Chains A and B, each alone.
Chain A
C-alpha cells in the first residue's frame, strides 16, 4: 500500500510536464466554472433585486380578475379605495403605494422633437408621496425632478428619452381610452429623466402622477394595483399570506401576488438561461475530464510493459488500479487546488468590480434586469463542489483506461512496445 502510493507520487513528479499540462487544464476548467457560476448567480441575484426595486415590488395587491387579464391592463377592474388599504398596511409597518397602469399612444410634436410621431407605450401612474417608499427611484434621476401631485408632469426612462430625443421641458400628449369609454388626450410636460440599474425600466418607463390621471380617466380614486415592499430577508410567502389575511376583512375580494409570481414570465426565461449555462459548465467539465483521461490513457499506454512486469511478479490488479488512480487523483488535486485558488482570486475582482456589459445591455434585451456591470457573488458550495469534483472525477476517469489495460493478457503487455 505504501509502495503503491509512493510509486504513484513518483510517477507524478517524474512526468512533470504532463502533470503540469493536465493540472493546468483542470485548473482552467474549474476556474471558469467558479467564475461563470459566480457571475451567473450574481447577475441573477442583482437582476431579481432590480426587478423588485423598479418593476414588481415585493408583492402586489390587485383584483383577482385583473390578475387574469393583466396583459390587457383593464382600467375598470380596479381597487376602489386603495388609500384605505395603503393606510391599513402602513399602520402594520408595511410600505405600500398605489399605482395605475395603462396603455396609451404617445404623441410627439415637431416643435420639440423635430418631427411629429406617435407610438404605443405603457404608462405608470404613481402616488408621488408614497411611490418611493416602495420603489427605489429616489437616486435615479439624472436630470430634472420627479412628478408632483396634481400636475401634468411626466418622468421618462433615460434610454427611452435618448431613443425619441426627449429633453426636460418638452411637451408630449398621451392618448388613451378612459374608464367611461371616451378617448382622452393628456398633455404632459417632461420634468425628469431617470436612469436606474434596471434596463427594462430605462427602456420603457413613463411615470405620471396618479391623481391627475385619475381625473382624466374617471377612476374616481381607484387604482389598478397596490405595490408592497418587504424587507430583503423577509419570508415572502409567509408575508403574502399575512397581508392577504389583513386585507380580507375589507370585503374587497382582492388578491396578493408575490413578486416571483409577478415575474413568472421573466423567471421562466432565467431558468431557460440557467439550463443553457448549465450546458457551458457541463462542457467545461467535459474538457477537464477529457484532458485527464487522455493524460492517463497516455500514461498507461506508455507503461503497459511496466504493468505487465508488475502483474507477472504477482502484484494484484487492485494494487495496480490503485496506483493509477492515486496518480490521476494527485494530478486532479493539484489542478483543483490551482483552479480553486485562481477562481477565488478572479472572483474577488468579479465581486468587487465586475465586468461592464453596459454597451451590450443597451442594445440587447437579454432578460437580465442589470444595466451596467455584472457582479459576481460568493458561492462556497460551488467552490467546494468544484474542488471535490476535480479531484474525484480525475480518479474515476483513470479507472477506465486502467481497467482496459488490465484486461490485456500479460504476455501481450510484456511484448508491448
Chain B
C-alpha cells in the first residue's frame, strides 16, 4: 500500500525553479497495475523516483507499507530499496560485462541469499521471462526486447512488493513493447506484485488497469478500467 500525499518537488535550474510536482496525491493498493501517463515533462519520472526512494521530497509525504519516506536517512532508503523495490528502466541498464544470469543473480547476492537458492531462483525467473537457454549470453548478444526481459527478471527475482518502471517500452518497437507489457501483466497477476509504470504512449496506457494522467506536475485524471 502506497500513499502519496500532496507531494511537491521543485528543481532549481540556475536562477529559475521548476515545479516538477505541484501537490500530487494518490493511493496505490497492493497488486495494482498502474500507469502514470502524461506528456514529456509532466513529472512522471519525478513521481516514480520519489516513490522509488531515490529522490527527496520538497513537500508532502509518501508512505510505503506504513513507512513514511521523508523520515528515512540515506542508508535506510538504500536498505529499503534493496529489500522491497524492483526497478525497470527505459534503457535497460544492464551490466554489459555480465551474462543474463549474472545480471539477475547479483540482486540476490547483495541480499546475502545462499548460492544454491540464488541459482534456483535466477534460473526459474529467467525461464519465466522467456530467456531459457540464453542465461550465459551477454546483453550485447541479445535484442532490446530480450534485454528488457532480463531487466524484468532482475526486478522480480527478489519478489519485491513494488516494481517501478519508467517508460519501459519507449526504446522498443511497438510489437516488442506489447510483449513486454504482456509479460509484466502476467507477472503482476502471478506474483501479485504492484507495478507502477510511466508512459506517454497511448498503446501502453491501454494495458493499464488504472491510468493516472499527469499534466504540468498535477494529476488531471485517475481512472480504473
Cα–Cα, bound, A310→B45 (Å):
18
Q: Is B98 an interface residue (CB 8 A)?
A: yes
B136 to chain A, nearest CB (A): 13
Q: How far is the CA of A90 from the CA of B195 in the complex (A)?
A: 100
CA distance A106 to B21 in the complex (A): 99
CB distance from A19 to the nearest CB of B (A): 12
Residues in chain A near residue B45, CB distance under 8 A = 411
B110, A3: Cβ atoms closer than 8 Å: yes
Determine the distance from Cα of A7 to Cα of B154 in the docked complex, in whole angstroms.
16
| Contact status A3-B106, CB under 8 Å | yes
Q: Is the CB of A314 within 8 A of B54?
A: no
Residues of chain A within 8 A (CB-CB) of B107 are 313
Residues of A within 8 A of B110 (CB): 3, 313-315, 319
Which candidate, B23-31, B57-65, B81-89, B199-207, is the interface stretch facing chain A?
Answer: B81-89
Specify the main secondary structure of chain A where it touches its partner.
Answer: helix
Q: B96, A314: Cβ atoms under 8 Å?
A: no
Does A306 lie at the interface of the complex (its beta carbon under 8 Å from any beta carbon of B)? yes
Interchain CA distance A3-B97 in the complex, whole Å: 12
Q: Taking the complex as formed, is A91 at the interface, i.e. its CB lies under 8 A from any CB of chain B?
A: no
Kindly supply a per-residue 1/0 record for chain A positions 280-311, scoring 1 wherever the CB is within 8 Å of any chain B CB and 0 otherwise. Answer: 00000000000000000000000001101111
Query: Which chain B residue lies CB-closest to A6?
Result: B102
Is B132 part of the binding interface, using a Cβ–Cβ cutoff of 8 Å?
Answer: no
Q: A3-B110, A14-B96 are in contact. Are A314 and B89 (CB under 8 A)?
A: no
Does B109 contact A2, Cβ atoms closer than 8 Å?
Answer: yes
Answer yes or no: A414 CB below 8 A from chain B CBs: yes
Q: Is A242 an interface residue (CB 8 A)?
A: no
B96 and A409 contact, CB distance less than 8 A:
no
Instruction: With CB as the reference atom, state the residue of chain B lying closest to A2.
Output: B109
B55 engages A306 (CB within 8 Å): no
- Shortest distance between the CB of A327 and any CB in chain B (Å): 11
Q: When A3-B109, A411-B45 are in contact, do A312 and B52 touch as well, CB less than 8 Å?
A: yes
Q: Add 8 more A-B contacts to A306-B96, A410-B49 (CB < 8 A).
A: A7-B106, A306-B95, A312-B52, A313-B87, A314-B79, A315-B110, A319-B110, A411-B54
* A interface residues, Cβ below 8 angstroms from B: 2-3, 7, 10-11, 14, 305-306, 308-316, 319, 409-411, 414
Closest 6 CB pairs of A and B: A314-B82, A309-B93, A410-B54, A10-B97, A3-B109, A314-B81
